[in-house]
């Protein structure tokens, strides 16, 4: 028997079996490879998720309350004023004799103007043109019998409506003002009923009261405080003695008071010597550290 054909057939069969085996087994990794690749492609997507987790666990800034224990920086220091002085000049309106001299003074002066006098409106107009402060110098009843009172004087025994009517008329003689002072008034400023009516009217019109303090028994401070009306009072009269040397000595006393207390308010009158001394002495006091202000800056 010739075995060569049989061997050839066996070899062919072996090749077929090997080819089939290769198809069934060697080709399988090629199918599984994409699965591995897909896992590799998904992996880069993980970093964004990791960032989100990191953001979620990052501590938030502490609330304001948590930092309250840390001392804050001190506020910037405000510029402190030196000793301040307000000069009020009473009794304008009777004439124009000294108005130019007072208005020529470069330091602040508050002009207290009487109502219903011949030059009331003209003095007020000129003072406003220069930018000076004006107030109503309100005539009130005095204990003195040796002085002539104005016809518009408010007296003890007047009713509230009568007082309101007089105040309304007297304020209408001037441009709008910020406050009212008493002219004379040693009796009226001791009268609680009169001053309650006066202060009540001022409150209703947003005005302050400046007490010339013509009586040591004045009730004005107490009444103004109870009503919630701004108030100030005179510390010194400058020219009860009309001698220039005496007026200058009073101004130096005002300076000492302002340095000791931080502030002072002085009253002078519409007189030639008073104007001359103020024109000379106020600039000197200013150079020495005194700051002159309008009365409205001193009421409280």
Tens-place pLDDT, residues 147-200 = 888 989 999 999 999 999 999 999 999 999 999 999 999 999 999 999 999 999
User: Looking at the predicted structure, is the pLDDT value of residue 49 above 60?
Assistant: no
- pTM to 2 decimal places: 0.73
3-state SS assignment for residue 110: strand
Set out the domains of the chain in order of their start, with CATH numbers.
84-297 (3.20.20.370)
User: Looking at the predicted structure, is the pLDDT value of residue 60 above 70?
Assistant: no
pLDDT in tens, 221-279: 999 999 999 999 999 999 999 999 999 999 999 999 999 999 999 999 999 999 999 99
User: Looking at the predicted structure, is the pLDDT value of residue 63 above 50?
Assistant: no
Supply the pLDDT for residue 294.
97
Buried-state track 196-223, b at ≥16 Cβ within 10 A, e below 16: bbbbbbbbeeebbbbbbbbbeebbbbeb
Q: What is the rounded average pLDDT of the residues 95-113?
A: 97
Cα dihedral sign for 260, 261, 267, 272? positive
User: Looking at the predicted structure, is the pLDDT value of residue 211 above 60?
Assistant: yes
């Amino acid at each position: 028997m010739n075995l060569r054909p049989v061997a050839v057939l066996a070899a062919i069969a072996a090749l077929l079996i090997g080819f089939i085996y290769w198809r069934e087994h060697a080709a399988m990794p090629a199918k599984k490879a994409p699965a591995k690749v897909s896992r590799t492609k998904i992996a880069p997507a993980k970093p964004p998720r990791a960032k989100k987790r990191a953001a979620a666990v990052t501590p938030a800034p502490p609330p304001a309350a948590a930092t309250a224990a840390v001392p804050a920086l001190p506020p910037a220091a405000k510029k402190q004023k030196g000793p301040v002085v307000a000069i009020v000049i009473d009794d304008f309106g009777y004439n124009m004799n000294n108005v130019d001299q007072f208005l020529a003074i470069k330091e602040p002066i508050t002009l207290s103007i009487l109502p219903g006098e011949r030059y009331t409106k003209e003095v007020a107009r000129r003072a406003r043109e220069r930018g000076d402060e004006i107030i109503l110098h309100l005539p009130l009843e005095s204990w003195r019998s040796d002085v002539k009172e104005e016809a518009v004087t408010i007296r003890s025994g007047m009713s509230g409506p009568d007082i309101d009517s007089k105040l309304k008329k007297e304020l209408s003689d001037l441009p709008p003002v910020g406050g009212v002072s008493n002219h004379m008034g040693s009796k009226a400023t001791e009268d609680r009923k009169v001053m309650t009516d006066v202060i009540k009217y001022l409150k209703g019109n947003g005005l302050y009261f400046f007490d010339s303090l013509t009586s040591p028994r004045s009730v004005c401070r107490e009444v103004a405080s109870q009503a919630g009306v701004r108030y100030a009072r005179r510390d010194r009269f400058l020219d009860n003695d009309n001698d220039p040397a005496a007026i200058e000595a009073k101004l130096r006393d005002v300076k000492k008071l302002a340095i000791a207390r931080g502030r002072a308010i002085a009253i002078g009158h519409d007189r030639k010597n008073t104007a001359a001394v103020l024109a000379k002495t106020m600039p000197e006091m200013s150079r020495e550290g005194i700051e002159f202000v309008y009365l409205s800056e001193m009421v409280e």
